[in-house]
């Protein structure tokens, strides 16, 4: 029986449902100090003074640490994957409300919390800027100097700049859009906006750093242990082998726990205190830690009278918040797909990562693609309507098919855009109840695609023990997506054993080799390859061992016997290693052109049927059909839950989730007021995997974690217009916004708030 394509329950499911799985949040060690963070109350300002005296004198306080103190162990205490712009604790300036300014350490978390209230900081206020468009011309400068990190190969080109809020301006030029617009029969231009939202993993960030004898061990809820080790070693000026990063299971990640978030703080505090120190954030503090970019996207298309899109111009502004985090990569990697999965001769894309005084934005399930699809698929429907074309037929005429060049010039390969579209057309076609009276129904669909992050490296080790048992060592983190199970299946397939017998050891930089990170739906493809290579290496070594002990080629042997024959007893280990980095051609700086910009494409689409209550504006999603090209699924059951889970998350971002800011302060920083979908919000959901294969993938597989997020928002907006003839261009699509749009159209607008 093949292990690939097998619906195997997750290896860790029993440990999880019986409460035995380990989480960093639950970890305590003897002598450990708890921490509570004193945070900025101004959105933008120079730090004049921080008075910690009263807090230091408070009951149970071990120490109070400020940004200046951090310098004693980290001389240049700035971190970040794209720019070294984020101080471990604020230095000189604060850039958003909620920024960490000082920390109280105590053996008692409640005493630490009390002492924090005694800290007082004085700031010289500077004008803040919150809007991504304003920030591009604002006199308020969030960072006086930009400091590129130069860590990742794909971000090497970033240049340091002064006096601008634009962290990165990415551009792509293909053909001549202006000429094509002039020649086109029709030109359409629309603007779309998305709001700032949050990952809210149920397990908040937690890190425990333990100083050793010239070493440091960090237990953390991170999606990127290898990066954490590298970055902490850099900050400390230590070799990587003195820093260990250990990651148990995560209670959700969704991009919130990539790169360094609180690990630098925990590390510095542990070294300053000389004791184990735990930094564990509350749910409220997640809102000051990382979020998803708010965006403004203006899209303009030139179309021929028979419905061919011949030119497209995209201007995308990403509201990055106070620190760059991985935003520049979002602006670039995601930016180059801004024209959509369409075959367009003339394309111009400008994508700007902009600093503002909001909490930082980074990667969130989809890495910016959902914001883009929101715009281009809404735009696509608007054009189809204006030209009186069937929206499916219009798409059919324009989609990118295999072999055709994408906007970067990279030829499409194994991207089942056509199949996804056709499957959706089938699911959403036919007649249906359009409702009556004040309740109106409509249908809409949307498709999107995403490039994988490249070039990135994954390494794996497979140990074959002397009893024949197999252990896999990887730094891919299982955060609920089922990677341990999928990786075990890949190793088991090569080594011809049952996947449930494979032990997966994940998240330990002392045991497992480098991995770039569990992010961007890259693990199945990249780590999948590395695991496959490592298992093949082990298999080759087993065969060599068989030959060495004199077994004729092709013999069926018991592994245990093999070791016994070679070492005279149950002894020895075979270590198989694998490393994978896909080939990549960096895009040309001015035009964004590249012959090989991604190792694979993810393709997803959603069809929605909605019912709109025209008296209240309330939108009920009746049915949501999510179609995905995942290549060949390694574990179909887990893949399907990834698809429905991704769509559910995006449903919340579409209809109601919103980080509300007032004077820079997030005013709904709790689950009481930041509502994610509950059981009663989940519509009838169908998951469809199209028959596809990623030829370059391990056993034909590719990533899936983000695919179902692409089409949800525009499919719903398109369905709403189908139902009531009103177009919403800003997320979230709240009932009030729908009613206001209806009233505006009917000429009796709803008054302003009073």
Partner 1 sequence: MMAFDWAEPATLKEAVALLDPEDATVRAVAGGTALMLMMKAGVFQPTRLISLAKIEPHYSQVRIEKDGTLKIGAMATLSAVEQSADVAEHFPVITETLRTLSNVRVRNVARVGGALAHGDPHMDLPPLFAALGARVVARGTAEVREIEVAELYAGYYETHLKRDELIAEVIVPGLKDSRAAYLKCTSRSADDWPALGLAVHLDVEGRDVIKRARIVLGAATDKVTRLKETEDALNGATPTDPVLKRAAATAAEEVSLLGDAHGSAAYKRELLKVYLVRAIRHALRGKHA
Partner 2 sequence: MKFTGELSVNAPREEVFDKLKDARFFACCVKGVRDLKELSPTTYAAHFETKIAYIKFNFEVTVELTEAQRPCRIAAKIEGKPHGIVGRLSATSAADFHEAAGVTTIRYEVEASLTGRLGSIGQPVLKAKAKEMEREFVENLRSGFLGDVEAVLP
Based on CB atoms, which residue is closest to partner 2, 121 or 338? 121
Per CB under 8 A, 94 contacts partner 2: no
Per CB under 8 A, 159 contacts partner 2: no
Per CB under 8 A, 117 contacts partner 2: yes
Give the shortest CB-736-to-partner 1 separation in angstroms: 4
Tokens of 730: 């800003």
Query: Using CB under 8 A, which of 438, 670, 736, 745 touches partner 2?
Result: 670
Measured distance CA(529)–CA(476) in Å, rounded: 12
Is residue 601 a contact partner of residue 630, using CB atoms and an 8 Å limit? no
Omega before residue 455 within 30° of 0, cis: yes
Region of 188-196, 355-363, 478-486, 655-663 interacting with partner 2 (CB under 8 A): 655-663
587 CB-near residues (< 8 Å, 6+ apart): 172, 336, 408, 593, 594, 597
Is residue 359 a contact partner of residue 326, using CB atoms and an 8 Å limit? no
Most distant pair of Cα atoms in the chain: their distance:
90
- Give which of partner 2, partner 1, none residue 663 binds (C-beta under 5 to 8 Å, depending on kind): partner 2
Per CB under 8 A, 666 contacts partner 2: yes
> Tokens 């590129």 appear where?
148
Measured distance CA(477)–CA(456) in Å, rounded: 16
Nearest residue to 350 (alpha-carbon basis) of 585, 173, 187: 173
- Give which of partner 1, partner 2, none residue 379 binds (C-beta under 5 to 8 Å, depending on kind): none
Length of the chain: 754
Helix, strand, coil: what percent of the chain each, to 5? 30, 25, 45
Based on CB atoms, which residue is closest to partner 1, 388 or 679? 679
Report CA-CA distances (Å) from 284 to 44, 290, 671: 20, 12, 9
Query: Using CB under 8 A, which of 66, 114, 291, 348 touches partner 1?
Result: 114
Sheet holding 166-174, edge to edge: 166-174, 346-355, 309-321, 294-303, 186-194
Is residue 649 a contact partner of residue 254, using CB atoms and an 8 Å limit? yes
- Give which of partner 1, partner 2, none residue 633 binds (C-beta under 5 to 8 Å, depending on kind): none
Per CB under 8 A, 734 contacts partner 2: no
CA dihedral 279→280→282→283, nearest 10 degrees, is 120
Number of residues that bind partner 1 (CB under 8 A): 33
Based on CB atoms, which residue is closest to partner 1, 108 or 240? 108
- Considering only CA atoms, give the Rg of the chain: 27
Query: Using CB under 8 A, which of 663, 684, 736, 744 touches partner 2?
Result: 663
Region of 127-135, 184-192, 569-577, 657-665 interacting with partner 2 (CB under 8 A): 657-665
Based on CB atoms, which residue is closest to partner 2, 641 or 665? 665
Tokens of 520: 């961007």
Bridge partners (DSSP) of residue 521 are: none
Nearest residue to 96 (alpha-carbon basis) of 267, 261, 290: 290
Contact string 127-146 vs partner 1 (x = CB under 8 A): --------------------
Per CB under 8 A, 667 contacts partner 2: yes
- Give which of partner 1, partner 2, none residue 735 binds (C-beta under 5 to 8 Å, depending on kind): partner 1
Is residue 50 a contact partner of residue 66, using CB atoms and an 8 Å limit? yes
Per CB under 8 A, 97 contacts partner 2: yes
Phi, psi torsion values for 564, nearest 5 degrees? -60, -45
Measured distance CA(257)–CA(363) in Å, rounded: 9
Measured distance CA(263)–CA(277) in Å, rounded: 11
Q: DSSP label at 23?
A: B
Can you count the helices (H) and strands (E) in the chain?
19, 30
Per CB under 8 A, 107 contacts partner 1: no
Per CB under 8 A, 38 contacts partner 2: yes
Measured distance CA(27)–CA(693) in Å, rounded: 42
Give the shortest CB-608-to-partner 1 separation in angstroms: 17
Based on CB atoms, which residue is closest to partner 2, 479 or 669? 669
Per CB under 8 A, 670 contacts partner 1: yes
Per CB under 8 A, 662 contacts partner 1: no
Region of 420-428, 467-475, 572-580, 667-675 interacting with partner 1 (CB under 8 A): 667-675
Region of 143-151, 490-498, 617-625, 662-670 interacting with partner 2 (CB under 8 A): 662-670
Per CB under 8 A, 48 contacts partner 2: no
Per CB under 8 A, 486 contacts partner 1: no
Nearest residue to 449 (alpha-carbon basis) of 603, 647, 650, 628: 603
Is residue 462 a contact partner of residue 470, using CB atoms and an 8 Å limit? yes
Give the shortest CB-734-to-partner 2 separation in angstroms: 16
Contact string 592-631 vs partner 1 (x = CB under 8 A): -----------------------xx-x-------------
Per CB under 8 A, 736 contacts partner 2: no
Q: Which of residues 681-720 bind partner 1 (CB under 8 A)?
A: 681
Based on CB atoms, which residue is closest to partner 1, 112 or 504? 112
Binding positions for partner 2, rule: CB under 8 A? 38-39, 41-43, 97, 116-117, 119-120, 284, 287, 660, 662-670, 672-673
Binding positions for partner 1, rule: CB under 8 A? 110, 113-114, 284, 615-616, 618, 652, 656-657, 660, 667-668, 670, 672-673, 675-681, 734-736, 739-740, 750-754
């Amino acid at each position: 029986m093949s292990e690939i394509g097998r619906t195997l329950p997750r290896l860790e499911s029993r440990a999880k449902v019986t409460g035995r799985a380990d989480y960093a949040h639950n970890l305590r060690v003897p002598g450990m100090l708890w921490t509570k963070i004193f945070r900025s109350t101004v959105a933008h300002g120079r730090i004049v003074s921080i008075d910690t005296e009263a807090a230091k004198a408070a009951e149970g306080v071990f120490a109070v640490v400020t940004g200046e103190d951090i310098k004693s162990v980290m001389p240049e205490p700035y971190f970040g994957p794209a720019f070294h712009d984020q101080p471990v604790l604020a230095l000189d300036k604060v850039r958003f409300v909620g920024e960490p300014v000082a920390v109280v350490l105590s053996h008692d978390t409640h005493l630490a919390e009390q002492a924090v209230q005694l800290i007082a900081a004085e700031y010289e206020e500077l004008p803040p800027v919150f809007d991504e468009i304003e920030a591009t011309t604002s006199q308020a400068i969030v960072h006086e100097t930009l400091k590129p990190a130069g860590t990742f190969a794909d971000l090497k080109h970033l240049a340091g700049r002064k006096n601008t809020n634009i962290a990165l301006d990415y551009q792509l030029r293909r053909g001549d859009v202006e000429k094509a617009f002039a020649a086109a029969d029709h030109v359409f231009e629309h603007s779309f906006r998305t709001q700032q939202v949050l990952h809210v993993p149920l397990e908040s960030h937690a890190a425990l750093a333990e100083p050793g004898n010239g070493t440091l061990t960090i237990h953390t809820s991170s999606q990127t242990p290898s990066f954490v080790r590298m970055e902490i070693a850099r900050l400390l000026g230590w070799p990587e082998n003195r820093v260990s990063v250990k990651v148990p299971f995560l209670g959700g990640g969704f991009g919130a726990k990539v790169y360094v978030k609180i690990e630098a703080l925990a590390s510095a505090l542990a070294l300053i205190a000389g004791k184990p120190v735990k930094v564990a954030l509350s749910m409220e503090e997640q809102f000051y830690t990382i979020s998803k970019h708010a965006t403004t996207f203006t899209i303009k298309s030139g179309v021929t009278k028979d419905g061919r899109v011949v030119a497209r111009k995209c201007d995308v502004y990403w509201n990055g918040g106070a620190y760059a985090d991985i935003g520049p990569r979002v602006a670039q990697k995601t930016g180059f797909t801004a024209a959509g999965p369409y075959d367009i001769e003339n394309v111009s894309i400008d994508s700007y990562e902009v600093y503002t005084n909001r909490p930082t934005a980074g990667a969130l399930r989809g890495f910016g693609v959902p914001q883009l699809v929101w715009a281009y698929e809404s735009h696509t429907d608007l054009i189809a309507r204006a030209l009186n074309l069937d929206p499916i037929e219009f798409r059919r005429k324009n989609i990118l098919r295999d072999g055709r060049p994408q906007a970067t010039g990279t030829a499409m390969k194994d991207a089942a855009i056509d199949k996804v579209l056709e499957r959706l057309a089938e699911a959403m076609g036919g007649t249906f109840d359009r409702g009556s009276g004040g309740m109106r129904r409509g249908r809409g669909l949307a498709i999107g695609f995403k490039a994988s992050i490249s070039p990135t490296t994954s390494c794996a080790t497979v140990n074959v023990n002397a009893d024949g048992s197999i252990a896999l060592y990887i730094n891919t983190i299982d955060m609920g997506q089922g990677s341990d199970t999928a990786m075990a299946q890949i190793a088991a397939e090569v080594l011809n054993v049952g996947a449930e017998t494979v032990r997966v050891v994940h998240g330990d930089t002392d045991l497992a080799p480098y991995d770039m990170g569990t992010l961007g739906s890259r693990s199945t493809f990249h780590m999948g390859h590395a695991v496959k290579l490592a298992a093949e290496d082990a298999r080759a070594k087993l065969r060599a061992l068989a030959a060495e002990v004199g077994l004729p080629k092709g013999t069926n042997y018991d592994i245990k016997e093999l070791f016994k024959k070679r070492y005279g007893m149950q002894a020895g280990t075979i270590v198989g290693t694998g490393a994978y980095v896909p080939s990549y051609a960096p895009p040309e700086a001015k035009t964004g052109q590249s012959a090989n910009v991604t190792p694979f494409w993810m393709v997803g689409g959603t069809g929605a049927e909605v019912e709109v209550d025209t008296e209240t504006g309330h939108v009920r999603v009746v049915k949501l059909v999510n179609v995905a090209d995942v290549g060949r699924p390694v574990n179909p059951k887990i893949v399907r839950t990834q698809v429905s889970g991704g769509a559910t998350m995006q449903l919340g971002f579409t209809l109601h989730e919103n980080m509300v800011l007032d004077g820079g302060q997030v005013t709904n920083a709790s689950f009481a007021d930041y509502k994610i979908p509950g059981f009663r919000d989940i519509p009838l959901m169908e998951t469809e995997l199209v028959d596809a294969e990623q030829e370059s993938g391990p056993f034909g597989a590719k990533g899936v974690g983000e695919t179902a997020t692409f089409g949800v928002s525009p499919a719903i907006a398109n369905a709403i217009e189908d139902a009531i003839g009103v177009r919403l261009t800003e997320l979230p699509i709240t009932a009030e916004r729908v009613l206001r749009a209806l009233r505006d159209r009917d000429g009796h607008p709803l008054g302003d708030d009073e």
